[in-house]
Amino acid sequence: MNTHPVARRVRRCAAVALLGLRAAGAPAAPDPDSLHQSRLQRVPVEELKAMYLNCNREALAGRLDAGAIMACSVVYETLKQRAFGGDFDALRSWSRARDADAGVASEAPTGGG
Let me know if residue 113 belongs to a domain. no
Domain contains 13:
yes
Q: Is residue 89 part of a domain?
A: yes
3-state DSSP assignment of residue 33: helix
pLDDT, tens digit (0-9, with 9 covering 90-100), for 1-10: 455 666 666 5
Is residue 59 one of the residues assigned to a domain? Answer: yes
Range of the domain at 20: 5-102
> Which residue type is seen at 77?
E
> Among residues 6, 17, 14, 5, which one has the least CA distance to residue 75?
6
Residue 86: pLDDT above 90? yes
Question: Exposed/middle/buried for 10, CB within 10 Å: 0-12, 13-18, 19+?
Answer: buried
pLDDT in tens, 32-79: 555 566 788 888 999 999 999 999 889 999 988 888 888 889 899 999
15-27 residue pLDDT tens: 444 344 344 443 3
For position 101, what pLDDT does the model report? 77
Closest CA to 10 of 73, 80, 83: 73
Number of domains in the chain: 1
Count CA atoms within 13 Å of residue 42 on its CB side: 8
Decide if 110 is inside a domain.
no
The answer to whether residue 76 is domain-embedded is yes
